Chains A and B, each alone.
Chain A
Amino acid sequence: MKVVVCVKQIPDPADPGALDPETNTLKRDTKLILDESDSYGVEMALQLVDAAGDGEVHLVSMAANNEVGGLRTALAMGASSATIVSDDALGGSDALGTSKVLAAAIARQEPDLVLAGTESSDGYTGVVPEQVAELMGLPSVTFAKSISIEGGEAKIQRQTEAGYDDVECPLPVVVSVTAGVVEPRYPSFKGIMAAKSKPVDELDLDALGIDAAQVGWAGAGQEIVAVDEAPAREAGEVIEDDGDAHERIVAFLDDLKIL
């Protein structure tokens, strides 16, 4: 079984750098790390391949300058190989531009299953997995909390507000994995030593056959016009208990439609 996992490499949230004042996008000139929300997809893929008894996990990432800092972490966790797509024309890509690139890179792998995080920790658009599925003509299942492969089908528990849906789906399928549903393994020392010698395929737009006008600033359908500081949190309401505090809390929660 071949599982492709989309992984985003992001600036370290502990040292996030700055916004480019001209483009209002994050400067990505620092070292990039594996987005934590993708580590769950990597872990799930490794578990599925383990359970299948054979197969491999391939990573696909798009980043500037063939950056592989974050990919190495996922390779050290146990993925077999990776594709990194870099091209000067990709700067400024919006979610759809990114999805076009990922879809083309994933298609080359002919996977049985494609996993992605539900959203990245730096951009939070939360639409890439579904766009990739659409572009590849594959079914899309979102918010998976567990996946198993049985009889050539994917059986997925899809998290909902009330609980979860049981979904069965033919392969290949693109599944987005909810953060926190598995415990990502630590990259082992042996895995770390081996990571450097694992194959990483470096591709550009030409290699993928993508027209530069369709992606990057040129193809972006969105423009970030301004970025503002989030307003400071307002002080909450303090309820003094005069004997009826519980009722007022219930009324408050009722108003919010939480109860």
Chain B
Amino acid sequence: MDFGLTDEQEMIVDTVRAFVARELVPHENQVEATGVVAPELVAEITQKALAAGIYAANMPAELGGGGLDNLTMAMVDRAFGFTQYALHYIVARPSNILQACQGAQVDDYLLPTISGERVDCLAMSEPDAGSDVRGMSCKATRDGDHYVIKGTKHFISHADLADYVILFVATGEEETARGPKKLISSFLVDFDTPGVEVVPGYNCVSNRGYHNMIINFDNARVPASKLLGEEHRGFDVANEWLGATRLQVAAISLGRADRALSVATEWAATREQFGQKIGKFQGVSFKLADMTTKLTEAEMMTYRAAWKMDQNTMTDGDAAMAKLSATEMLQFVSDEAIQILGGMGLMDELPLERIWRDARVDRIWDGTSEIQRHIISREILRPLGA
């Protein structure tokens, strides 16, 4: 088993670190203070990321993306995780699900999103359907060669920057032994479609400057050609492509923990109380030992899941374990880092209070920790019929 990085991976990570340090970190304070990334800055970072060839790194090279495998992508996301998500997000990573585009969808959505001309967002969640996504009430009804969409989606990340949405809606119902079950389909819906309205969502404690929006569909007519994948097969498309998103959350958590740990380590090695460096107190040094151990555990699990994804052997449980361990590790590491700094840890002079706040959403979005445990436990028990 080889745990080393290849020369290419090392260079790729170096490039991302340099980009983060030079192009993103200098804007962190401004974004934290104002809660927005100015449109000119979005445009500037987009252009620089495109010029540097690191935009859409997850997309195949033959389509104009970076062509990175999932393992290298996890390393890249970790390096980006050093900074704030509102800035990181601009160096886009279009949803992998767009690779399900067919025919005209390739030229209309996939390619322009990879080249930075269009920006996607993805909507499943609704006010009454969170973890239980299949419980969604937003629906599309066939009308000739169109579908008519009605309903509301909420918590839709960066819909303010996007110009279309990868939308999941109910298109029917089937009878099963356990009662009726909604059939879900996926659509590509342009925001300039009459009847589609994007409005501001809620103020969130995590990821300042990265906004969630509400999207209302009031009998919006969408051509049938905008169906992504087959009708009623929306979750098949999602299952095929969305595992990568959980790994992304896991990998970014590693990067945030790297930063928190380095701040805490430096503090422990330099801050003096009772006439000695506080790192000499076991109460402090053992914290660093536990933080490092948990970070390394999460790293192993994340890279292993990504590697398995490249081998086409990753299970839902592998991705769930990576997300669960990395996000819970980050909660622990960011909290202990603040403890090591004491009061200074809570002040916005240092990035710890931000990392601590930002970490909170990671145990909720892309499947709560409970849902990840559900996925893992089902994988253990289902084969036994339990």
Interface residues of A (CB under 8 A from B): 69, 72-73, 76, 185-193, 195-196
Contact = CB atoms under 8 A, between A and B. Distances in A.
Contact of B7 (A188, A191, A196): A196
Interface of B: 7-8, 11-12, 15, 18-19, 51-54, 57, 61, 66-68
Given A185-B52, A186-B54, A188-B52, A193 B67 contact: yes
Contacts of A188: 15, 52-54, 66
A192 B8 CA distance: 6
A72 B53 contact: no
A189 B57 CA distance: 8
Given A187-B11, A188-B53, A195-B11, 10 more contacts: A69-B7, A186-B15, A188-B52, A188-B54, A189-B12, A189-B66, A189-B67, A189-B68, A190-B67, A192-B15
Contacts of B57: 189
The 4 closest A-B pairs by CB, nearest first: A188-B53, A186-B52, A189-B66, A192-B11
30 contacts: A69-B7, A72-B7, A72-B11, A76-B11, A185-B51, A185-B52, A186-B19, A186-B52, A187-B11, A187-B15, A188-B15, A188-B52, A188-B53, A188-B54, A189-B12, A189-B54, A189-B57, A189-B66, A189-B67, A189-B68, A190-B61, A190-B66, A190-B67, A192-B8, A192-B11, A192-B12, A193-B61, A193-B67, A195-B8, A196-B8
A65 to B, nearest CB: 15
Contact of B53 (A73, A190, A195, A196): A190
Q: Most chain-B Cβ atoms within 10 A of its Cβ — which of A185, A186, A187, A191?
A: A186
A82 to B, nearest CB: 15
Nearest to A188: B53
Contacts of A69: 7
Nearest to A191: B53
Contacts of A189: 12, 15, 53-54, 57, 66-68
A192 B61 CA distance: 12
A232 B207 CA distance: 44
B25 to A, nearest CB: 15
A191 B66 CA distance: 10
Nearest to B48: A186
Task: Determine which residue in B7, B11, B12, B66 has the highest number of CB atoms from chain A within 10 A of its CB, and name it.
Answer: B11
Contacts of A190: 53, 61, 66-67
Nearest to B61: A190
Nearest to B72: A189
Contacts of B52: 185-186, 188
Contacts of B8: 192-193, 195-196
A125 B6 CA distance: 34
A188 B54 CA distance: 6
Contacts of B54: 186, 188-189
A191 B7 CA distance: 13
B77 to A, nearest CB: 13
A180 to B, nearest CB: 14
Contacts of A72: 7, 11
A189 B54 CA distance: 6
A196 B7 CA distance: 9
B33 to A, nearest CB: 27
Nearest to B8: A192
Contacts of B19: 186
Contacts of B61: 190, 193
A72 B8 CA distance: 9
Nearest to B68: A189
Contacts of B15: 186-189, 192
